[in-house]
Structure 1
Amino acid sequence: MTTERDGSDHQNCDMSEAHTERLVHRLATLRERVDRGMDRREFLRTLVSGGYAVGMAQWLGVDDFLAAGNDEVPVVTALVRDDPDDPWSVQERTRYVPAAWYAAVEKAFDVNDRLARLAFTGYLGSAVVPGTYDSETATVSIGVSSDGHSVSEMVGELAEGIEIDVETFVDVETFIDVEDIQDDPGNREPRLADVTPDGRVPSGVAVETPSSLATLGPALYHPDSQQRFFVTAGHAFAGEQEMSDGTLLLPREGAEHAELGTVASYHPAEDIAAIEPNGPIEPASRIDAPERARVSGQLTRFGLADLVARGEELEKVGALTGHTTGKIQGVDAVTCFTDDFCRRGQIRWGGEMDLTDGDSGSVSYHRDPESDDGDVLIAGFNNARTWWPGQSYVWGVGAYRLTETHGYHF
């Protein structure tokens, strides 16, 4: 009897575990379908037909999804501080968007990612261009060299339902020569910081490395170590020697240069250098804009897509060109024009005149629509401008990419 009872209990346990595994698998599949753009009515029908309680939505983490309209889905558009003065109080902000638009943009992101992974011969980069909400479309823009394979052959069914815009660059190697590229800042004078009696300095002003001039970005935070850093463009430091013991200096109006700190981390793919403070001046979450702006958070990838869909612009303040604005031309972009690797998670915005030597290290940003104090959300980190024929934009890494790959946030 004992043996038979034990065997029965064991069998029941096996059946229970198998049932649980099937349930988990089905719910996980449902969660994936939500992520791919399932609308609210289809979701509710699936729950009921599958015998699930509506309360399972909480288990799936889709309460916001159920709160949306019949043809809408929630997306996280920004990471915003609950307390503007506490950089560690970051919360997700959600916006409801049309389900069909979401599905098209998500598919475009997937196509773009796969293209970058394929990296077929002649591939120079690509970007996602979300359509308007009414259009419910998205485009993947691809740059190829004249010796590249047929994009249609490479994409095939991968891009079904997504418009592909291909631009071919002829003799690309003859004009992509970083060593020969020199911007001409003309007679522009760099924007210098005022003396900072409060011990902080806003971004958008000039900083100096042993060999170059760049722009200071707003404070960069790392939650794992609870540290805050100064940040500027990595390429402002020439070579490993400068990077290993490089000091970042702050030229100031009416005062001697101040030492901000030394390089703590350098991330080549993102082209950023995180500077650990070693003096009385501390990083600040402010931008020296025409109306000095406080940074309250940063935009996500879908937050950028949302701005494109609504025709919104980005702003920036550089040490040489000052304050400029421009439309977003592509998000989640891949740039393979430079170096021997591709840069991922890039933003394309504005025009090539919006950036010059000395502006690298500035950030692009957008006014926080839910702030009454003129706060801003960081979009990305400006690294360079186009110098190849037929293109005109500033490009740099998205803030969301820095968070995904290294944990930093603004």
Structure 2
Amino acid sequence: MTDAAITPDQPAPLAGAAHTDRLRAGLKRRYARERRFKLYGLLAIGVAVGFLLLLLGRIFEQGHTAFYAHSVAVPVYMDPARIDRAYPQGTNFELLVAEQQLARLGVQDDAAGTKATAMRGLFSSELKFVAADRIQKNPGLIGQTVSIAAPLADDADLYFKGEITLETPAEQRRLSDEQIGWLDRLKADGLVAGHFNSALLTKGDSTEPELAGVLGAVVGSALMLLVTALIALPLGVGAALYLEEFAPRGRLTNLIEVNINNLAAVPSIIYGLLGLALFINWMHLPRASPLVGGLVLALMALPTIIIATRSALKAVPPSIREAALAMGASKTQTVFHHTLPLAMPGVMTGAIISMAHALGETAPLLLIGMVSFVPGIPHAVTEPSGALPSLIYIWENASERAFHERTAAAIMVLLAFMIVMNAAAVLLRRHFERRW
């Protein structure tokens, strides 16, 4: 009887073992799915980082050559018969240097002066200003042989950078084989030297690539961001405070919130059209000025600042508000003495990121005229000015090859500007952040 009672229970261990095997197989499949999911995530990150490195590498490869340039230390006889002591700027130093260099190389010019013109094409127009400045500061140099560091023209500079060679098809370069031969002889004589291209960072835009710089665009962008910050920050933070802390909940408030969220997704070119119609055609503000650009970018940054500020205010624990009110503080005192200071890290982070995003916008600036050629450096928000995004657009569409390397260099400057702003946002957030 005892054996008969035990017999039906004997398959139980087998059933338990099968159930355990099924559980193990299920766990194995689940862990495999988790490993595949992690692998897909790492693969996605790797692809994104790879494309980013490819982009940055391409920009650096094309733009790093713009940060150095070449000049030729040519000996020049300051012929008294051809130099005006009273007005040295009127002297044709370019022709003077070209003729003397042809004579030094033993090249005979023709009656039309063709070879002298070709030699002049190797030097930048900055040469005449350098020579005239030397004479103006020291008139006693007239009648003497002076060594002048003559800046090279853009194509001659590209030749020494390896961007142009004899193998380059003639229709793709403006240097003739004879001019390249002259450059080789100048280098063989030890007259060619490379140096840091300070003009790229200290001068404004120019029609000649070797003289073009980004300083005017950097100053214009800085003035634009100043106008944007002065307008967008108070309005954006104030609007967010009212909507989050004071506004009664209702249909009107919900409608405003929905429209603010929609405005954050409006294409930037629409803001450019609005700025053209409102600030230029109706209010008659100066075209292509940082003032108009800042106003347009402020309109574009407002929705982002409002949304970021409201998110920062929501992150403040309700207990802070309740404690302040319990101690007898008014609603206004609670908001401005407790809630807003604690939300300030998020507010500043959102503001800086929104302005960094506005800094890279090009379409609105094109519509308000900031695509025009502005050679100088602006000194006020009402003066015509360029901006880094519009300067990049102008240089990329220029026909001279040397502008293309300067386009990549300007992109590097813009990226550095944006990295600094984003780094400031991170540091401010870490400095003021509190953990609850």
Q: TM-score, normalised by structure 1?
A: 0.20
Larger relative contact order (CA 8 Å, sep ≥ 6): 2
Q: TM-score, normalised by structure 2?
A: 0.19
Higher strand share: 1
